[in-house]
Amino acid sequence: MSWNTTSTNNGSHTLTAVATDILGVRWNSAPVTVTVSNGPPPDTTPPSVPTGLTASAVSSSQIKLSWAASSDNVGVSGYRVYRGGTQIATTSATSFTNTGLSPSTTYTYAVAAFDAAGNLSAQSSPASATTPAAPDTTPPSAPTGLTASAVSSSQINLSWAASSDNVGVSGYRVYRNGTQIATTSATSFPNTGLSPSTTYTYAVAAFDAAGNLSAQSSPASATTPAAPDTTPPAVSITSPSNGQTVSATVTVTASASDNVGVVGVQFLLDDGINGSAEATTAPYSVSWNTATASDGSHKITAIARDAAGNSTPSAPVTVTVANNAPAPPPPPPAPVTRFEDTDPSVVYSGPGWRSDMYAALSNGGATASDQAGAQATFTFTGTSVSWIGGRWVEEGIARVFLDGSFVTEVDTYSKTKEVQVPLFTALDLANTSHTLTIEVTGRKNVASNLAFVLVDAFDVPAATISRLQDTDP
Ligand SMILES: [Ca+2]
Ligand SMILES: [Ca+2]
Ligand SMILES: [Ca+2]
Ligand SMILES: [Ca+2]
């Protein structure tokens, strides 16, 4: 017969064979002692399902898992790790680090426990984690096309072409003469506060969010221009001098200087109405025909300007223009001797002479005639003589003779009454005896009512000698 010892407890057992004969008599054999020794009963119970699974990304390529230990009737041998439903590892620990992952990717894990008999638990609840993006270690491309241009004496503007980057350009560092002076997110930069007439050299480099910095661009240089000129020239007139009397054509000259350079000097007469052409080279001078100005006091001003348009007027110089000979001073009034119409030196001939008496006349009276041919002849000694008469609406035309020679006619008509008027004067006579004859013509202006000619007096200035000659006696 066959004996399955596994149905018997391990240990010592006595085996006895019993025979029964035909008569039913039992005959026992001598006992045999055996020891049953079988292993424990086979384990068919799987471990408990793992719980508490957590997944956390520790880098862009690693996720760490951990979970609570399972239990088992005999003992947990280990755990299977699944990713996306596929076993990727076994471990006896309750944690696992999954390496070699892709960045920015979500992974889902589960674990199951197994025992030594190969019993496998169900999979745990899943846990997921996402790897972070891979760190950026690639710098942007170096900027190209850098240009620098001076826009003023204190500012240079930079611009360049944008760099590229595997992730993205965050900004640019700007270097001047090798030293970083700024960062900017733009592709241009105005560098202000510079010194005039100075050359500056620039470069730029791009950086990304991870702090990777590109190589510097090729350098670009620019030179600031000189500072603008805001200082006007200084100018003064050197000729003519203040107070000088000028005539004909004179040269007007100015001295001018400037921090940069005098472009030209213009001269203005008086209020600048008459400006000269501009003198553009030193000595700054123009020719001035003073006859184009009136005689008398004039003011000359010079205005100097520089290339930047700054200008200054000089202090004015006042000159006296004198092109016309001054009028000779009037001779001192010579004493005049008046001879009345009644003086014996006056001889009347011809018709019609009569006296007119009223206060406005010289010495209160005059002698008049309206008859043609009537003459009054005055004899005197002197170098000049004046016939003193009157004009009115009753007065006519006289003829005047000097030393017997006809000189002129005198119309003594006037719409208003004028008395003691010099009606005729003879000058520059030889200083000898002369006659002055007044002849009544009987004719008259058509406007006049009558033809009277009035003889009121004669004036004879004393002879004057203006200049003594060495030939004079
Ligand atoms: Ca088990
Ligand atoms: Ca990068
Ligand atoms: Ca200047
Ligand atoms: Ca008189």
Average pLDDT across the chain, whole number: 92
Check the CA dihedral 241-242-243-247 and report its sign. Answer: positive
> Are 443 and 374 spatial neighbours (Cβ–Cβ below 8 Å)?
no
For residue 12, pLDDT over 90 is answered with no
3-state secondary structure of 7: helix
What is the 142 CA–ligand 2 centroid distance (Å)?
A: 12
What is the 225 CA–ligand 3 centroid distance (Å)?
A: 15
Q: Name the closest ligand to CA 368.
A: 4
Cis peptide before 283 (omega within 30 of 0): yes
The pLDDT value given to residue 469: 47
User: CA 205 to CA 188: how far, in whole Å?
Assistant: 12
- pLDDT per position as a tens digit, 382-426: 999 999 999 999 999 999 999 999 999 999 999 999 999 999 999
What is the 167 CA–ligand 2 centroid distance (Å)?
A: 5
3-state secondary structure of 362: helix
Q: Mark residue 154 as left, alpha or beta (left: phi above 0; alpha: psi -120 to 50; beta: remaining).
A: alpha
- Does residue 293 or residue 440 have the better pLDDT? 440
- pLDDT per position as a tens digit, 449-473: 999 999 999 999 887 655 444 554 4
3-state secondary structure of 141: coil
Query: Residue 142: which residues within 8 A CB-CB, separation 6 or more?
Result: 163, 205, 206, 214, 215, 216, 217
Q: Name the closest ligand to CA 168.
A: 2
In this structure, what token pair is assigned to residue 436? 């002055």
Across 125-141, average pLDDT? 94
Q: Which domains does the chain have, with CATH numbers?
A: 5-36 (no CATH), 51-130 (2.60.40.10), 144-223 (2.60.40.10), 234-321 (2.60.40.10), 336-461 (2.60.120.260)
What is the 324 CA–ligand 4 centroid distance (Å)?
A: 43
User: CA 269 to CA 288: how far, in whole Å?
Assistant: 10
At 29, the pLDDT band (50, 70, 90 cuts) reads confident
What is the 214 CA–ligand 2 centroid distance (Å)?
A: 9
Closest C-alpha among 231, 250, 229 to residue 240: 250
For residue 273, pLDDT over 60 is answered with no
At 16, the pLDDT band (50, 70, 90 cuts) reads confident
Count Cα neighbours of 438 within 13 Å in the Cβ-side half-sphere: 35
Check the CA dihedral 18-20-25-29 and report its sign. Answer: negative
What percent of the chain has a predicted confidence (pLDDT) above 70?
A: 95
User: CA 210 to CA 449: how far, in whole Å?
Assistant: 127
Question: Which residues have C-beta under 5 Å from ligand 3, the single-atom ion?
Answer: 229, 231, 258-260, 306, 310
At 278, the pLDDT band (50, 70, 90 cuts) reads confident
- pLDDT per position as a tens digit, 58-103: 999 999 999 999 999 999 999 999 999 999 999 999 999 999 999 9
User: CA 445 to CA 417: how far, in whole Å?
Assistant: 15
Q: Name the closest ligand to CA 213.
A: 2
